[in-house]
Every structure is written in structure tokens, then in C-alpha cells.
A and B are shown apart, each in its own frame.
Chain A
Amino acid sequence: MKKYKYILCLLPAFLLASCNFSYTYVIDGVEMGEADEDEDDFDDSGSYKIKVWVDQKIKTLTESQIEAFVTDNPKYKITADVQAVSEGNATSNMLLDVSDGADIFVFAQDQLARLKVAGALGKITDKFADFIVENNSADSVKAASLSDGIYAYPLTSDNGYFLMYDKRIYNENEVGNISTMLNKIKGTNSKLYFKAQSDGFYTASYFLAKEKDHPEQDSLCKCDWDLDEITGQFTKYSDTFGDDNGLIAAKGIKEIADKALVASDNSVSKFAPGTGSASGTTAAAVVTGIWDYEAAYNRLGIKDDKGNIVDSYLGCAEMPCYKVGDKEYHLGSYDGYKLMGVKPQTTKKRTSVCRKLARYLTSESCQTERFHEVSWGPTNINSSKNPSVLSHPGLAALAKQHEYATQQGQCPGDWFLSLKTAAGSISANSTDAQLTQILKNYKDGLKDLLSDAD
């Protein structure tokens, strides 16, 4: 009987130990394979199997772009396994298992530090870094960088939000101010769809606002987080969201706490169809991003006799203003970028080829092609000057909003949750004392995020 007891004690210990070893192996199993020399002169010809994760919408396009790369570079025999994985899933999958993850993948900029800490990104050096700096907007390069260098290739500049509206309800002069917008839809079955009270990413727009017509000024509030880029822990924060200027934002939020006029949603399918009518509540305007542009355009599309969409009632504009006291504030937003990352490879040759492929996929020609295919805003300087890009209503609205936007840095995911909780507690009847208390609670909660921050 004693023997069994020993075995029973040792078995779990052995199992735990083996789990630990296997996990360590995964993280350590990825070799950096840095090619420090000038990779363009480096003999990296050969056959490669490369796994690429991109959004479903650009899967086919990416396959054809990789084919074009291989045609232009016959010394590489690349078997590309392009898989449709959304940016969010790409990040979580890479964090789960770097070694089984894609060689090249797309992710949102705010995940850069986490991915670096997890060993999913290597520092980009030499000609590749020069290429990124020379060809992309300064803000996008900043988004792809950590304190010690560049870690990813800028891919799109459109990961922010703006206002989409139904031209049958508003004209372009009426979408500059939230009060005007809400007054116009009073007593109708239309609402403003804005997640300012249900999603911290959108709540921030009130706190990041600037005085109307003064984009050069600082935003009302700031919340910066210091990240230890080795441990991936947030070590410090500097926050003014919970201070006096935060109270201005909180007062602004009161206006949209009227559930009869504002819905906490951002689905463009709530627009009444361009052809025919819709029953129930419909959207007069929606605050969302370029990823919904096509769906919104089609939803509000005007069709010809053959059923083809020839025009649309969709209007796009920068974020509107809100008024507190006698001052008007232009809603801010976060400027967001999508980046293309290259996983540290097992050999120098693979590192070189993957980097060249990522460089190609984020080049002017590929970004322009991507814009024409799915309307993604380019980060490439030349591509963003393309007349088609400049005349795109959604991207034009984003460009205008850019003046009032703040670049999204690294922050704990739970910070958005704290913001959402604070905004969600605000009602149309909240007194100043109540708002101050809400902000105080928010500020007190930030300390907890330091120890919990991932």
C-alpha cells in the first residue's frame, strides 16, 4: 500500500514537471536567426515553406501578391500557406504558441510589446529598418517601434474610427455637433449608434477631445503607461483622465446617456436600407472604422434597374463636437495601425526571405493594390498620395480626424474596461458630485491594473 502512495505522489509531480519542460521548450525553441549582415547581398536562395496569417478579406489577394514576389525573385521557391486568421486571433495564437504560429502575420499595433515579449517578433535592422522609415508615415513607424528599435512592418493606417451617417437624415453641416445630431432625430425611430458608454476604446474619444478648431492643442486628458519591455509588465502610469479635465469629458458623456436617442452599438447593418424601408429602430449615424465602410456603403446603396449599386446614401465625416459650458470640444480618437510581423526564424536564410517577403507585402504597390481591393488605408507615403486614396470618403474622414487623434500606445487591456465602467455609470441626470466620484473610482482602480496588467 505504501508503494502505491509513493507512486501516486510522484505521478502528478512528474506530470507537472514534464508540462513545465515542454512549455519552456516552446518559448526557447525559436531561435532568433538574426541576419545582421546586409541581407540583400546575402545568398538566401532556396526552397521555403512559409506560413502567413492575414485577414479573410485579403487572403486571395495576399496569395496573388506572394506569387508575384516569387515571379520577381525566381531564386526563391516559396510554398506559401496563406491562412485566414483575424488580427485578434493571430495575436492570441502567437502568444499561445510562437513556434507553431505563422512566419508572417498581421496584428494591431497595441499588441506590439506583448508579441515582442512573447518572442513572436524580432528587431528589424539594417536595410529593412531603413526601408520602413523611408517609405512609411512617421506615425506608422512610431507605431511599429519600441524603445530600442523597429519590430514590425506598417501595413495600414486606418485602424481608428470616424462618423458614418445616412445622408437622408443628415446633411454635412449637421454632423459637426452631437447636440444638433440628437435634436434632429428626436421623436423619430432613428438613433445615433455610438459605443462611448460600452467600449473603452470609444469612451476615450471624449477624454481625448481638443477644443474645437484647435487641433494643435493637447488633448483634454492623457493616460500614458510605462511598459517594461523585458517582462511585459506595466510598471507606471501617468493619468489625467480622472482629473479636472476628465470632468469636462464626463459632462459631455451625459448628453449621450439618453437611451432614447443613442444606442450602445456600432453595427452598420442598423442603417435603414438604401432601397426600401426598415421597421423598428434604425441608425442615423454610426461611429465605427473603415472595416465597416464597404458594408455600410452597400447597406445604404442605391440600386439601378438591374439591381447593381450605383451610389449610396452613406456619408463619412470626422468625429463631431460636444459642448460643455460655453466651449465646444472636438471628439478625439485613437489613431490605430495594423502591422505585419515576422516571427524570429530558425535560420538566417529564412529570416532574410521572410523579411524580404514582408517588405514586399507592405510596399507601395501591395498597399495600393490592397486599397483598391478592400479600401484599407495605406501607411506608405507614396501610396497614401494616390488620387483614389485621397478621394475615398472614409479615408478622407479619417485623415481629417487624424488632426484630433492621439496615437495609441501600449496599455493594459483592462484599462479600456475601467474606462467603459466609468462611462457606463454616467447617466443623463448625474450631478457634478456624482461624476467626480465616478472619476475618483476610476482613478483609484488604475493602481490595480499595474499588478494585474498582462
Chain B
Amino acid sequence: MAERKHMSMSTKRRIGNVASYVTLALISIIWILPFVFLLLRSFDVGNTGPSSAIFPEKFGFGNYIYLFTAGADFLKWYFNTFIIALVVCVVQTAMQFSMSYVLSRYRFKLRKFMMNFMLVLGMFPGFLTMIVLYQVLKTIGLTGANAVPGLILVYVASSGMGYYVSKGFLDTLPKSLDEAALVDGATRAQIFVRVILPLCKPILIYTVLTSFMGPWGDYVFAYTVSLGNEAGMNVAAGLNSWLAPNMINDHFAPFCAGGVVVAIPVMVLFLFLQKYYVEGVTGGAVKG
């Protein structure tokens, strides 16, 4: 009887495992299929219009070549996106870290209130402010063709408010390090740059990655601020214009190729910095 029960448990576990693996495999397929579709369609030079067929009718690199030809505008959009993401990445990381350091190490009036206030403000979806931001940017001439600096301003404006993850990490570093450096005659800035920052590599890389990816994949703000002007579009807004009814039939495959090219820098960044990214997320997830 005991043996039968044991067998039954083992069978149950096996069935449970099989069910879990099948479910997970199905979820993986559902998740990965759009990417496979995008990749394969990007090589389809036989049918450049929308199609539900996954495999290309005729395999070739024509769509990729098209992206980099003069008339396609893709390079312009790609360059815009890269500039925006790069500048935002640098400025946002610097601002976010400075903010986190100050909130972690200093004690001053209204500190708690400020932290709570920023936390509450951060809960409002960014696009709620879109129209107001658009009007402000327009007043200072940073829409349309000048959307690139305008978008940089939008993305970096609230950088400091994303302090909580890196502050969580900084809180885990002993204050005695700062105090020791102070005793040795270091200034606060020197402590921050020479003592604290080298210890923050994982969270620094996490911040760099997230601040790069935000503007890299943004569509809503980029589309609104550029107001249909190609010169000010980022790659998401630009590629979307290829899906207009009168464009899609000869631009869907180049659109897929564009999607692949857009994914490359982020993929490379992740491949090289994956280890730090995980450390950064888990390191920052400590009660601050």
C-alpha cells in the first residue's frame, strides 16, 4: 500500500512537472514568437507588405539596405534617438545619483516630506502632463524640428525623482566609510566620487541601463513633441509613420528590419552588463 502511495506521489509529481513545463514552454513560445516573426520578416524581400506568414517568401538583405539609403530617413531617426538616449543616460544617472546620495547621507528639514512628495508625484503616469509639457516646450521653441533638445529636457527633468532604488543601495553602505574619509580630510564631493561611487558599480550600471532604455523606446512623448516633423522624430515615431495605410504595403518588412536594428544596442548593452544589472536591482531593493 505504502509502495503504491509512493508511486502515486512520484507520478503526481511527474504529471505536475510535465504540466508546468508544457505551460512554461507555451508561454515562452507566445512570448518569443513576435520576435522571431519580426526577425524573419525583416529578411523578406519577396513580400514587403504585411503578411501573417512567418517565413520570408524570398530571403535577402534588401530591407536592411533600404534602411540605410538616403531616402529612407531611418538614419536620421536613429541618430536622433541615439543622441537623446546618450545625453539622457549621462545627465539622468548623474542627477539621480547625486539626489540619492544627498537623501541617503544628509539629514535636513523637509527631507522626509520631499521624499514622500516625489514618491507620490512619481505615481502619476507621465503622459498626464503631455499637453502641458508640449505647450511649455512650444513656448521655448523646442517642438517640431527642435524636438531632440526638447525631448532631452522632458526626460531629464524629473530624473531626481527616480532616486529610490539607488538610495536603497546607498543606504546599505556603512556611513563609517564617509566618516573615515571626512576624518582624513576629504570633502563631501570627494567622498561621493572617490569612495562611494566605486562601490556602487552594480546600481550605477542599472541606472545607466534604465535611463538609456527609457528614451530609446519612447513613442508617446516623441511623437507628440515632434508633431509629425521628420527632423525631430525618434526611431519609434519615425518607424510608425511607415505603418500609415498608404505606406504599409511596401514598408512593413523594412519596418521589421528597423525594429531589429533598434534592438541591437540594447541587446549588446544587456549582454555585457547583465551581471551588474541583476546585482543592481537586488542590491537596491533594500528598505531605505
Q: Is B50 an interface residue (CB 8 A)?
A: yes
- Answer yes or no: A428 CB below 8 A from chain B CBs: no
The answer to the question of A381 belonging to the interface, with a C-beta cut-off of 8 Å to chain B, is: no
Name the one of B53, B139, B241 contacting A86, with C-beta atoms under 8 angstroms: B241
Interface set of A (CB-CB < 8 Å, partner B): 15, 19, 22-23, 26, 53, 55-57, 81, 83-86, 88-90, 93, 96-97, 99-101, 267-270, 273, 276, 278-280, 291-292, 294-296, 298-299
- CB of B228 within 8 A of chain A? yes
Do the beta carbons of A97 and B57 come within 8 Å of each other? no
The stretch from B41-49, B60-68, B88-96, B271-279 touching chain A is B41-49
Across the interface, B249 reaches (CB within 8 A) one of A15, A56, A96, A267, namely A267
Cα-based distance from A101 to B226 in the complex (angstroms): 11
Q: How many CB-defined contacts (below 8 Å) exist between A and B?
A: 95
Q: In whole angstroms, how far apart are the Cα atoms of A273 and B47 in the complex?
A: 8
Taking A26-B138, A97-B134, A267-B51 as given, write out 6 further A-B residue pairs in contact, using a Cβ cutoff of 8 Å, ordered by the A residue number.
Answer: A22-B135, A89-B241, A90-B228, A267-B249, A291-B245, A295-B249
Asked if residues A279 and B49 are in contact (CB atoms below 8 Å), the reply is no
CA distance A118 to B50 in the complex (A): 35
Nearest-CB residue, chain A, relative to B137: A100
| B228 CB contact (under 8 Å) in A22, A93, A280 | A93
Q: Nearest-CB distance from A297 to chain B (Å)?
A: 11
- Which 6 residue pairs spanning A and B have beta carbons closest together? A269-B49, A295-B249, A85-B228, A291-B246, A86-B244, A22-B135
Main SS of the interface on chain A? helix
Q: Which residues of B contact A26 (CB under 8 A)?
A: 135, 138
> Assuming A86-B247, A90-B228, is B135 touching A267 (CB within 8 A)?
no
Contacts of B145 in A (CB 8 A): 81
Q: Closest CB-CB distance, B207 to chain A, in whole Å?
A: 29
A88 to B134, CA, bound (A): 20
A-B contact pairs, 29 of them (CB 8 A): A19-B131, A22-B132, A26-B135, A26-B138, A53-B228, A56-B241, A84-B230, A85-B229, A86-B246, A86-B247, A88-B244, A96-B227, A97-B134, A100-B138, A100-B144, A100-B227, A101-B227, A267-B51, A268-B49, A269-B47, A269-B48, A269-B49, A269-B50, A276-B57, A278-B57, A280-B52, A294-B250, A299-B47, A299-B49
Contacting residues, chain A, for B234 (C-beta < 8 A)? none
Nearest to B73 among chain A residues (CB) is A84
Please determine whether A19 and B228 come into contact, CB atoms closer than 8 angstroms.
no
> Are A268 and B247 CB-contacts (below 8 A) given A100-B227, A273-B47?
no
Known A53-B228, A97-B134: A267·B49 in contact at CB below 8 Å = yes
**What sequence of 0s and 1s flags, for each residue 81-113 of chain B, a beta carbon within 8 Å of any chain A beta carbon?**
000000000000000000000000000000000
Q: Which of A83, A268, A291, A296 makes the CB contact (< 8 A) with B230?
A: A83
Q: Report Cα–Cα, A101/B134, bound state, in Å.
A: 13
**Residue B80 interfacial (CB < 8 Å):** no
Chain B residues with CB under 8 Å of A84's CB are 73, 230, 241
Chain B residue nearest to A277 in the complex (CB): B57
Residues from chain B with a CB closer than 8 A to the CB of A280 are 52-53
Contacts of A278 in B (CB 8 A): 47, 53, 57
B156: shortest Cβ distance to chain A, in Å? 20
Q: How far is the CB of A3 from chain B (nearest CB, A)?
A: 13
Q: For residue A83, which residues in chain B have a CB less than 8 angstroms away from its CB?
A: 228-231
B159 within 8 A of A: no
Please tell me if B252 contacts chain A, counting CB pairs below 8 Å.
yes
- Whether a CB of chain A sits under 8 angstroms from the CB of B224 is yes
Give the A-binding residues of B (Cβ under 8 A). Answer: 46-53, 57, 73, 131-132, 134-136, 138-139, 143-145, 224, 227-231, 241, 244-250, 252
Distance to closest chain B CB from A384 (angstroms): 20
Which of B135, B227, B252 neighbours the largest number of chain A CB atoms within 10 Å of its CB?
B227
A143–B51 Cα gap in the complex (Å)?
Answer: 35
A contact residues around B229 at 8 Å (CB): 83, 85
Chain A nearest CB from B81 CB (Å) reads 18
Closest to A89 in B: B228
Task: Give the nearest-CB partner of B53 in chain A.
Answer: A280
Across the interface, name the chain B residue whose C-beta is closest to A86.
Answer: B244
Give, as a whole number of angstroms, the nearest-CB distance from A177 to chain B. Answer: 27
Nearest B residue to A298 via CB reads B250
Instruction: Determine if B230 and A96 form an interchain contact, defined as CB atoms under 8 angstroms apart.
Output: no
* A57 cross-chain contacts in B, Cβ below 8 A: 246-247
Interchain CB contact (< 8 A) of B135 among A19, A101, A299: A19
A22 to B228, CA, bound (A): 21
Q: How far is the CA of A11 from the CA of B23 in the complex (A)?
A: 52
A133 to B234, CA, bound (A): 42
Chain B residues, CB < 8 A from A273:
46-47, 57
Q: Report the minimal beta-carbon distance from A90 to chain B, rounded to whole angstroms.
A: 7
Q: Point out the residues of chain B lying under 8 angstroms from A269, CB to CB.
A: 47-51, 249, 252
Q: Which residues of B contact A88 (CB under 8 A)?
A: 244-245
Instruction: Assess whether A22 is in contact with B139, with CB atoms less than 8 Å apart.
Output: yes
Q: State the CA gap A90–B227 with chains docked (Å).
A: 9
Q: Quote the shortest CB–CB distance from A262 to chain B (angstroms).
A: 16
| Minimal beta-carbon separation of B283 from chain A (angstroms) | 35
A85 to B229, CA, bound (A): 7
What is the CA–CA distance of A57 and B244 in the complex, to the nearest angstrom? 11
Q: In whole angstroms, how far apart are the Cα atoms of A292 and B57 in the complex? A: 20
B131 A23 Cβ-Cβ under 8 A: yes
Residue of B nearest to A81 (CB): B145
CB-defined contacts of B47 to chain A, threshold 8 Å: 269, 273, 278, 299
Question: Which residues from chain B contact A90 at a C-beta distance below 8 Å?
Answer: 228
Please determine whether B244 and A89 come into contact, CB atoms closer than 8 angstroms: yes
Q: Which of B53, B131, B224, B249 contacts A268 (CB 8 A)?
A: B249
Q: Nearest Cβ in chain B — how far from A49, in angstroms?
A: 12
Which residue of chain B has the shortest Cβ distance to A26 in the bound complex?
B135
How far apart are B130's CB and chain A's nearest CB, in angstroms? 10
The interface residues of chain B lying within 8 Å CB-to-CB of A96 are 134, 224, 227
